[in-house]
Homo-oligomer: A and B are copies of this chain.
Protein backbone atom coordinates (compact mmCIF):
# COMPACT_ATOMS: atom_id res chain seq x y z
CA UNK A 1 0.00 0.00 0.00
CA UNK A 2 1.01 3.59 -0.52
CA UNK A 3 1.66 5.99 2.31
CA UNK A 4 -1.40 8.25 2.02
CA UNK A 5 0.15 11.16 3.88
CA UNK A 6 2.65 11.22 1.01
CA UNK A 7 -0.12 11.09 -1.58
CA UNK A 8 -2.01 13.89 0.19
CA UNK A 9 1.15 16.00 0.09
CA UNK A 10 1.45 15.30 -3.64
CA UNK A 11 -2.16 16.35 -4.26
CA UNK A 12 -1.70 19.51 -2.25
CA UNK A 13 1.45 20.53 -4.14
CA UNK A 14 -0.17 19.91 -7.53
CA UNK A 15 -3.41 21.70 -6.53
CA UNK A 16 -1.83 24.74 -4.88
CA UNK A 17 1.18 24.96 -7.18
CA UNK A 18 3.78 25.33 -4.42
CA UNK A 19 5.37 23.40 -1.55
CA UNK A 20 4.80 26.39 0.69
CA UNK A 21 1.06 26.60 0.04
CA UNK A 22 0.73 22.83 0.35
CA UNK A 23 2.36 23.01 3.78
CA UNK A 24 -0.11 25.73 4.77
CA UNK A 25 -3.07 23.71 3.51
CA UNK A 26 -2.09 20.55 5.39
CA UNK A 27 -0.85 22.37 8.48
CA UNK A 28 2.67 20.91 8.39
CA UNK A 29 6.11 22.38 7.68
CA UNK A 30 7.41 22.86 4.18
CA UNK A 31 10.27 20.46 4.88
CA UNK A 32 7.73 17.78 5.82
CA UNK A 33 6.08 18.28 2.42
CA UNK A 34 9.43 18.13 0.62
CA UNK A 35 10.37 14.93 2.42
CA UNK A 36 7.04 13.23 1.65
CA UNK A 37 7.30 14.08 -2.04
CA UNK A 38 10.93 12.93 -2.13
CA UNK A 39 10.12 9.60 -0.44
CA UNK A 40 7.17 9.06 -2.79
CA UNK A 41 9.30 9.81 -5.85
CA UNK A 42 12.01 7.42 -4.62
CA UNK A 43 9.45 4.72 -4.08
CA UNK A 44 7.75 5.16 -7.45
CA UNK A 45 11.09 5.65 -9.16
CA UNK A 46 10.10 8.69 -11.21
CA UNK A 47 9.69 12.44 -10.90
CA UNK A 48 6.13 13.33 -9.83
CA UNK A 49 6.33 17.12 -9.52
CA UNK A 50 7.84 19.52 -12.02
CA UNK A 51 9.43 22.15 -9.76
CA UNK A 52 8.64 25.63 -11.06
CA UNK A 53 6.41 28.66 -10.72
CA UNK A 54 3.87 27.11 -10.32
CA UNK A 55 4.81 23.51 -9.51
CA UNK A 56 2.86 21.11 -11.73
CA UNK A 57 2.35 17.36 -11.79
CA UNK A 58 4.16 15.11 -14.27
CA UNK A 59 1.91 12.57 -16.02
CA UNK A 60 2.74 10.04 -13.31
CA UNK A 61 2.15 12.62 -10.60
CA UNK A 62 -1.24 13.53 -12.01
CA UNK A 63 -2.20 9.85 -12.24
CA UNK A 64 -1.34 9.36 -8.57
CA UNK A 65 -3.26 12.50 -7.60
CA UNK A 66 -6.36 11.28 -9.45
CA UNK A 67 -6.02 7.92 -7.71
CA UNK A 68 -5.83 9.71 -4.37
CA UNK A 69 -8.99 11.69 -5.14
CA UNK A 70 -10.81 8.48 -5.93
CA UNK A 71 -9.70 6.85 -2.69
CA UNK A 72 -10.84 9.97 -0.87
CA UNK A 73 -14.26 9.72 -2.54
CA UNK A 74 -14.46 6.05 -1.57
CA UNK A 75 -13.50 6.87 2.01
CA UNK A 76 -16.28 9.44 2.05
CA UNK A 77 -18.76 6.65 1.30
CA UNK A 78 -17.63 4.73 4.40
CA UNK A 79 -19.35 7.41 6.42
CA UNK A 80 -17.37 6.86 9.58
CA UNK A 81 -17.16 10.64 9.72
CA UNK A 82 -13.39 10.75 10.21
CA UNK A 83 -12.13 14.31 10.39
CA UNK A 84 -10.58 15.43 7.11
CA UNK A 85 -8.06 18.14 6.27
CA UNK A 86 -10.34 19.19 3.43
CA UNK A 87 -14.01 19.99 3.66
CA UNK A 88 -14.75 19.47 -0.03
CA UNK A 89 -13.92 16.40 -2.07
CA UNK A 90 -12.46 16.99 -5.54
CA UNK A 91 -14.41 15.16 -8.22
CA UNK A 92 -13.35 15.04 -11.86
CA UNK A 93 -16.07 14.85 -14.49
CA UNK A 94 -15.70 14.72 -18.28
CA UNK A 95 -18.46 16.60 -20.07
CA UNK A 96 -19.21 17.73 -23.61
CA UNK A 97 -19.14 21.52 -24.02
CA UNK A 98 -22.77 21.76 -25.14
CA UNK A 99 -24.06 19.99 -21.98
CA UNK A 100 -21.95 22.33 -19.87
CA UNK A 101 -23.36 25.31 -21.78
CA UNK A 102 -26.99 24.25 -21.50
CA UNK A 103 -28.16 22.00 -18.65
CA UNK A 104 -25.43 20.49 -16.43
CA UNK A 105 -24.47 23.35 -14.09
CA UNK A 106 -27.81 23.57 -12.23
CA UNK A 107 -27.38 19.87 -11.32
CA UNK A 108 -23.86 20.46 -9.99
CA UNK A 109 -25.01 23.52 -8.07
CA UNK A 110 -27.22 21.38 -5.84
CA UNK A 111 -24.21 19.90 -4.01
CA UNK A 112 -21.69 22.04 -2.21
CA UNK A 113 -19.58 19.25 -0.74
CA UNK A 114 -17.56 18.79 -3.94
CA UNK A 115 -14.88 20.73 -5.76
CA UNK A 116 -15.66 20.08 -9.44
CA UNK A 117 -12.82 19.57 -11.89
CA UNK A 118 -14.57 19.64 -15.28
CA UNK A 119 -12.79 18.17 -18.30
CA UNK A 120 -14.42 19.42 -21.49
CA UNK A 121 -14.29 16.94 -24.37
CA UNK A 122 -16.42 15.83 -27.28
CA UNK A 123 -19.30 13.49 -26.39
CA UNK A 124 -17.74 10.84 -28.65
CA UNK A 125 -14.53 10.96 -26.64
CA UNK A 126 -15.48 11.67 -23.02
CA UNK A 127 -15.79 7.93 -22.36
CA UNK A 128 -12.05 7.64 -23.07
CA UNK A 129 -11.44 9.57 -19.84
CA UNK A 130 -13.46 6.98 -17.93
CA UNK A 131 -11.61 4.10 -19.58
CA UNK A 132 -8.29 5.66 -18.60
CA UNK A 133 -9.50 6.02 -15.02
CA UNK A 134 -8.95 9.78 -15.24
CA UNK A 135 -12.45 10.83 -14.22
CA UNK A 136 -15.06 9.59 -11.77
CA UNK A 137 -17.99 10.23 -14.10
CA UNK A 138 -18.75 11.46 -17.61
CA UNK A 139 -21.52 12.90 -19.76
CA UNK A 140 -20.90 10.94 -22.94
CA UNK A 141 -22.46 9.85 -26.23
CA UNK A 142 -21.24 6.31 -25.52
CA UNK A 143 -24.10 4.10 -24.21
CA UNK A 144 -21.54 1.76 -22.69
CA UNK A 145 -21.30 0.82 -19.99
CA UNK A 146 -17.54 1.35 -20.00
CA UNK A 147 -15.95 -1.48 -18.01
CA UNK A 148 -16.35 -0.87 -14.29
CA UNK A 149 -18.99 1.83 -14.78
CA UNK A 150 -22.75 2.19 -14.43
CA UNK A 151 -24.49 3.88 -17.38
CA UNK A 152 -27.69 5.93 -17.14
CA UNK A 153 -29.53 7.18 -20.25
CA UNK A 154 -30.03 10.96 -20.07
CA UNK A 155 -32.10 11.59 -23.20
CA UNK A 156 -31.12 13.34 -26.43
CA UNK A 157 -29.73 16.77 -27.15
CA UNK A 158 -31.39 18.26 -30.22
CA UNK A 159 -29.28 20.24 -32.68
CA UNK A 160 -30.33 22.48 -35.55
CA UNK A 161 -28.15 23.31 -38.55
CA UNK A 162 -28.34 27.10 -38.44
CA UNK A 163 -26.99 30.21 -40.14
CA UNK A 164 -28.01 33.87 -40.45
CA UNK A 165 -30.56 34.86 -43.12
CA UNK A 166 -27.98 37.02 -44.92
CA UNK A 167 -25.50 34.12 -44.90
CA UNK A 168 -28.16 31.92 -46.51
CA UNK A 169 -28.94 34.54 -49.16
CA UNK A 170 -25.26 34.91 -50.02
CA UNK A 171 -24.04 31.30 -49.81
CA UNK A 172 -27.04 29.01 -50.08
CA UNK A 173 -29.80 30.75 -52.05
CA UNK A 174 -31.00 27.29 -53.20
CA UNK A 175 -30.56 25.69 -49.78
CA UNK A 176 -27.90 23.21 -48.66
CA UNK A 177 -27.12 21.54 -51.97
CA UNK A 178 -23.90 19.51 -52.19
CA UNK A 179 -22.27 22.28 -54.23
CA UNK A 180 -23.31 24.98 -51.75
CA UNK A 181 -22.13 22.92 -48.75
CA UNK A 182 -18.73 22.34 -50.37
CA UNK A 183 -18.24 26.04 -51.10
CA UNK A 184 -19.68 27.71 -47.97
CA UNK A 185 -17.82 28.08 -44.68
CA UNK A 186 -19.07 25.79 -41.90
CA UNK A 187 -17.83 25.79 -38.32
CA UNK A 188 -16.30 22.95 -36.37
CA UNK A 189 -15.62 22.82 -32.65
CA UNK A 190 -12.35 20.92 -33.07
CA UNK A 191 -10.94 17.97 -35.00
CA UNK A 192 -13.14 15.56 -33.05
CA UNK A 193 -16.41 17.33 -33.87
CA UNK A 194 -18.31 15.39 -36.55
CA UNK A 195 -21.79 16.92 -36.12
CA UNK A 196 -21.60 19.23 -39.14
CA UNK A 197 -20.16 16.52 -41.41
CA UNK A 198 -22.73 13.98 -40.19
CA UNK A 199 -25.63 16.37 -40.80
CA UNK A 200 -24.31 17.36 -44.26
CA UNK A 201 -23.92 13.69 -45.20
CA UNK A 202 -27.53 12.98 -44.23
CA UNK A 203 -28.87 15.95 -46.17
CA UNK A 204 -26.68 15.51 -49.25
CA UNK A 205 -26.93 11.72 -49.31
CA UNK A 206 -23.15 11.31 -49.52
CA UNK A 207 -19.97 12.51 -47.79
CA UNK A 208 -19.36 16.22 -48.33
CA UNK A 209 -16.05 18.03 -47.67
CA UNK A 210 -16.87 21.20 -45.76
CA UNK A 211 -14.60 24.27 -45.61
CA UNK A 212 -14.44 24.92 -41.88
CA UNK A 213 -13.70 27.61 -39.34
CA UNK A 214 -12.48 26.13 -36.06
CA UNK A 215 -13.99 27.61 -32.90
CA UNK A 216 -14.16 25.71 -29.59
CA UNK A 217 -17.00 27.57 -27.86
CA UNK A 218 -20.70 26.65 -27.67
CA UNK A 219 -21.85 30.24 -27.29
CA UNK A 220 -19.23 31.35 -29.84
CA UNK A 221 -20.84 28.99 -32.36
CA UNK A 222 -24.21 30.69 -31.94
CA UNK A 223 -22.75 34.22 -32.05
CA UNK A 224 -20.59 33.44 -35.11
CA UNK A 225 -23.62 31.95 -36.87
CA UNK A 226 -25.66 35.12 -36.11
CA UNK A 227 -22.78 37.24 -37.43
CA UNK A 228 -22.71 35.28 -40.70
CA UNK A 229 -19.23 33.83 -40.19
CA UNK A 230 -20.39 30.29 -40.90
CA UNK A 231 -23.10 27.71 -40.34
CA UNK A 232 -23.02 25.20 -37.51
CA UNK A 233 -24.96 22.64 -35.48
CA UNK A 234 -26.34 24.55 -32.49
CA UNK A 235 -28.17 23.02 -29.50
CA UNK A 236 -31.87 23.87 -29.58
CA UNK A 237 -31.81 25.63 -26.22
CA UNK A 238 -28.91 27.88 -27.26
CA UNK A 239 -30.33 28.89 -30.66
CA UNK A 240 -34.10 28.91 -29.89
CA UNK A 241 -34.23 32.65 -29.14
CA UNK A 242 -32.14 33.58 -32.18
CA UNK A 243 -34.42 31.48 -34.42
CA UNK A 244 -37.55 33.07 -32.89
CA UNK A 245 -36.16 36.59 -33.43
CA UNK A 246 -35.11 35.81 -37.00
CA UNK A 247 -31.35 36.15 -36.38
CA UNK A 248 -30.87 32.49 -37.28
CA UNK A 249 -32.65 30.18 -39.68
CA UNK A 250 -32.39 26.44 -40.27
CA UNK A 251 -30.40 25.51 -43.38
CA UNK A 252 -33.23 23.11 -44.19
CA UNK A 253 -36.53 23.23 -42.34
CA UNK A 254 -37.22 20.56 -39.74
CA UNK A 255 -33.97 18.64 -40.03
CA UNK A 256 -32.82 18.35 -36.41
CA UNK A 257 -30.03 15.99 -35.37
CA UNK A 258 -30.59 14.24 -32.03
CA UNK A 259 -27.57 13.07 -30.05
CA UNK A 260 -28.19 10.56 -27.24
CA UNK A 261 -26.29 11.23 -24.04
CA UNK A 262 -25.43 9.02 -21.06
CA UNK A 263 -24.19 9.61 -17.52
CA UNK A 264 -21.56 7.02 -16.78
CA UNK A 265 -20.09 6.79 -13.32
CA UNK A 266 -17.28 4.60 -12.04
CA UNK A 267 -18.56 1.89 -9.70
CA UNK A 268 -15.68 2.62 -7.35
CA UNK A 269 -17.14 6.03 -6.62
CA UNK A 270 -20.80 5.53 -7.52
CA UNK A 271 -21.87 5.41 -3.88
CA UNK A 272 -20.55 8.81 -2.72
CA UNK A 273 -21.70 10.33 -6.03
CA UNK A 274 -25.25 8.93 -5.73
CA UNK A 275 -26.87 12.27 -4.74
CA UNK A 276 -25.08 13.96 -7.64
CA UNK A 277 -26.23 11.24 -10.04
CA UNK A 278 -29.79 11.82 -8.88
CA UNK A 279 -29.55 15.58 -9.60
CA UNK A 280 -27.96 14.98 -13.01
CA UNK A 281 -30.74 12.58 -14.04
CA UNK A 282 -33.44 14.99 -12.84
CA UNK A 283 -31.93 17.95 -14.65
CA UNK A 284 -31.45 15.94 -17.86
CA UNK A 285 -35.10 14.85 -17.73
CA UNK A 286 -36.13 18.51 -17.78
CA UNK A 287 -33.67 19.66 -20.45
CA UNK A 288 -33.18 16.78 -22.89
CA UNK A 289 -35.58 14.99 -25.20
CA UNK A 290 -36.96 11.84 -23.58
CA UNK A 291 -38.17 8.98 -25.77
Contact = CB atoms under 8 A, between A and B. Distances in A.
Given A109-B229, A207-B21, A224-B109, A185 B217 contact: no
Given A16-B209, A209-B25, A224 B105 contact: yes
B229 A24 contact: no
Interface stretch (A76-84, A114-122, A123-131, A255-263): A114-122
B209 A105 contact: no
Contacts of A218: 217, 219
Given A115-B213, A229-B109, A56 B191 contact: yes
A26 to B, nearest CB: 10
A116 B213 contact: yes
A67 interface: no
Contacts of A17: 191
Contacts of A216: 118, 120
Given A183-B87, A215-B116, A220 B109 contact: no
B21 A223 contact: no
Nearest to A207: B21
Nearest to A238: B219
A213 to B, nearest CB: 5
Contacts of A183: 87
A10 to B, nearest CB: 15
A118 B215 contact: yes
Count of identical protomers in the assembly: 2
B214 A105 contact: no
Contacts of A143: none
12 contacts: A25-B209, A100-B217, A101-B219, A105-B224, A106-B227, A108-B229, A109-B228, A112-B228, A115-B185, A116-B214, A120-B217, A217-B218
Interface string A9-34: 00000011100010011000000000
Nearest to A171: B112
A212 B115 contact: yes
A248 interface: no
B117 A227 contact: no
A209 B212 CA distance: 42
B211 A115 contact: yes
Contacts of A54: 191
A88 interface: yes
A181 interface: no
Interface in A71-102: 86-88, 97, 100-101
A86 B54 CA distance: 44
A148 B76 CA distance: 54
Contact of A117 (B56, B88, B213): B213
